[in-house]
Structure 1
Amino acid sequence: MCYNTAYMKKGGFHMKNTTKNKVLLATVCSIFAATAFSQSAYANRITNINQAKNKALKEVKNATVLDVDKDRDDGVIVYDVDLLKGKKKYNIVYRASDGKKIEYGWELQNYYARNGKSISKSHCQKLALKEVNNATVTSIVNKTDDGMQVYKVKLKKGDKKYTLEYHASTGKLLEYEWKIVTQAVTGNNGNTGNNGYIGESKAKNIALDRVPGARVIKIEFDTDDGREVYEVELADSSFEYDIKIDAATGQIIEFDQDDLD
């Protein structure tokens, strides 16, 4: 309801400047909403290992807890829980401050199938997109893992990064994992400014020096076990490469090379 008069009297209550009243009401509502959110986060916080264990058991009912660790990831306290249920081993990571799940994954234990004729990459991509609806496939690599031919599929959806692994012959999903992506704020030149990181441009050059002649497919800032890194994906005519570079020092801390089909 909109009032054109600057002054109104109703039942002994004086209303002046209705627009200001509406703004004030909206501000009060925002404060209440923010307070409610803060209280909810406080109520859901995790303060000890038993709380993390019980939270994980609610998600994976009737599982056996193998291990619970309290750790620090990107300066944030987290609880890392490993569980076993049937033939699947689960890993769940919770942020302590609000109990939010920031990583989730499972892998099939003791699965083996003989290598035969591989399904096509396009078929594997369809399987992955069915598993993670409306995601974007960023890479598919055929590789050998524990003597089995597998497809490793990476996807992105919203603020989550997914990694799925399929048996190349049977199309069986062997591993499933997602984690919330931590983005760095970069300038137009790909540098991260005065935050102590080397910047995307330098990380790219370090990766290209390691694999001369390759082309960079993707570069991403992330946190790995509490360590800020640049994850660089490259490829040449024969191989695909995954390189992790320490974001502060520029040291290569992980290097993977996989055959291309």
Structure 2
Amino acid sequence: MNYEIYTEGEFKYIDEGQGQPLMILHGLFGALSNFDGVIEGFKENYRVVIPVMPIYDMPMRQASLEGLQAFIERFIELKNLKDIIVLGNSLGGHVGLLYTLAHQDNVKSLILTGSSGLFENTMGGSFPKRGSYEYIKERVEYTFYDPKTATKELLDEVFEITSSIPKCMNIVQIAKSAQRTNMAKEINAIKVPTCLIWGLNDTITPPSVGHEFNRLISNSELHFIDKCCHAPMMEQPEIFCEYMAGFLDKIKESEPTLK
């Protein structure tokens, strides 16, 4: 699907549909197209907003989870987003956790899939091996249950990113920031309804990580998707959207009705 990417100041973003804001935070190598199924499935009832996080382009001194959180806070303030549903995949989940902890009054619910924040078999420091397409292909395919999910378009995009020394330096720095920022002692303070949708075959944040998030976040529910690795919204979009829709419907049903 092709969606218009808007530019406003330092921000580039997708903004589809109307209604309650559903803000999606992508991962370290997360293309916006990763969320086609979610956009199509929810834009009729929600305002789906996906800011492009400046992972590769932000000044190196700011290349950290804190820098990405501050970027998202500025974006939310600019767009005046209220009562947000936050959906984060991988690194985006980690940023979503930080934002939620700091702004629980503005987060209606949280959805995490393959999120970092507790443990991940990261591709961080060693991943950006420049100049080897086969190596990039192998590492990207490792994140999917079915290697064919890693399309040539995706492989070309990651290869182009990792061919740039400045981009590689940012990737390594942000990956190390994620490794340092373990949130096991903080996330039990999250009280907003939380939905965890995990690939049963996740090699980056294994199923045990999903269970640990579920244990630490008291108001959470956990769903596993079989034959699915680190990006369920890409590999099994229909099942992913079913779990997500069921969760959001339950939240709506629990809200008090105005008389």
Higher helix share: 2
TM-score over 0.5 for the pair: no
Whose strand fraction is larger, Structure 1's or Structure 2's? 1
Q: TM-score, normalised by structure 1?
A: 0.23
Q: Which fold has the larger relative contact order, with Cα–Cα distance below 8 Å and residues 6 or more apart in sequence? A: 2
